[in-house]
Amino acid sequence: MATFHFPRQTGFYRGKVRDVYSIGPEWLVMVASDRISAFDVILPRPIPGKGQVLNRIAAVMLEATRDICPNWLLDVPAAHVSVGRRCEPFRIEMVVRGHLVGHAWRTYRSGIRTLCGAPMPEGMRENDPFPRPIITPSTKAAEGHDEDITPDEILARGLATPEEWAVLCDHALRLFERGREMAARQGLILADTKYEFGKLAGAVCLMDEVHTPDSSRYFLSDGFEARQARGERQQQLSKEFVREWLIANGFMGKEGQQVPEMSDDWVATIAARYEELFERVTGQPFLREELSDAETERLVVASLQRLGAC
């Protein structure tokens, strides 16, 4: 993936999935790459079109939730590029879980009934809904694995004030409820997700991606209860199938483990699953945008000029 150089660029950061360009002190250009990560490790092969899927779903969701809280996004000049305001991030990921799945299920299966200070009732099975959504925050690590953290630890470490924590929880739960409503209209169940927040002009502001397959897990609602009653695996649209493939091939991101080889067929399967999720979540057909690096740069510069950022 190309590294761009924009007017007034003052910084560059390459994350697991996104390349982030600082434009002066106030602006960001976020380029969603086709890189894919799991267990906080970037896998060796990119997934064609994945960056466009993530960026376009996030844009739809950010626009659909502006009435709940402000967000950073101002423009989407290309399918895989977003431009917006820089926020001062909270070093917390707000993970909201509506169902017992993924990390929560692995914790529960081990016999533990509390996750990040949130109680999990006895007698639950994998994929069961919680009586009400729970928040299980994690620290936002610059490198390596994010770590579970409790609200008390967040306050003790000064990662948020009590007032800010209350706002973060309120926003996260309201966003999750909106996400569930939007998913239900598409025949989906939003099982869990994560949100990242920052502060902009003193207000708590939603950042980064929202309700994408990298940050969320969706079940197909048709037949969900019947499959639960029979103890069958749920049909889901998320990145969890990639994690499950890695686990089945002996990789969980631990030291000394080797990432399994990704065949052409497997890469194509992952790409198709991402495109399917875009169409199921948004109700829109996925049309991959073909842009050269030069065209992408031109569109971004034009966007920055319109916004007064350069």
| Inside any domain, residue 124 | yes
Give me the amino acid identity at 119.
P
| Inside any domain, residue 234 | yes
The reported pLDDT for the residue numbered 145 is: 61
Among 148, 163, 160, 162, residue whose Cα is nearest residue 197 = 160
pLDDT digits (tens, 9 = 90+) for 215-272: 899 999 999 999 999 999 998 877 878 988 999 999 998 888 999 999 999 999 999 9
Does residue 214 contact residue 192 with C-beta atoms inside 8 Å?
Answer: no
| Inside any domain, residue 15 | no
Whole-model pTM? Answer: 0.88
| Inside any domain, residue 272 | no
Torsional sign, CA 5, 9, 12, 17: negative
| Inside any domain, residue 267 | no
Q: What is the mean pLDDT of residues 128-147?
A: 85
Asked whether the predicted pLDDT for residue 136 surpasses 60, the reply is yes
Among 4, 21, 10, 23, residue whose Cα is nearest residue 310 = 23
Does residue 31 contact residue 176 with C-beta atoms inside 8 Å?
Answer: no
Is 110 strand, coil or helix? coil
Give the chain's mean pLDDT.
Answer: 94
Rounded distance between C-alpha atoms, residue 181 and residue 221, angstroms? 12
Q: Could you tell me which residues come within 8 angstroms of residue 198 by beta carbon, excluding any fewer than 6 positions away?
A: 72, 87, 88, 89, 90, 204, 205, 207
| Inside any domain, residue 204 | yes
| Inside any domain, residue 73 | no
Q: Could you tell me which residues come within 8 angstroms of residue 163 by beta carbon, excluding any fewer than 6 positions away?
A: none
The reported pLDDT for the residue numbered 240 is: 79
| Inside any domain, residue 155 | yes
Confidence of residue 142 (pLDDT cuts 50, 70, 90): low
Range of the domain at 106: 90-238
CATH at 179? 3.30.470.20
Give me the amino acid identity at 237.
L
Q: What percent of the chain is modeled with pLDDT above 90?
A: 85
Among 253, 278, 285, residue whose Cα is nearest residue 38 = 253
What stretch of H or E contains 103?
Answer: helix 103-109
Q: How many domains does the chain have?
A: 1
Among 234, 258, 255, residue whose Cα is nearest residue 246 = 258
Higher pLDDT, 238 or 110: 110
- Give the N- to C-terminal CA distance of the chain in Å, as an integer: 24
Q: What is the mean pLDDT of residues 54-62?
A: 95
Confidence of residue 127 (pLDDT cuts 50, 70, 90): very high
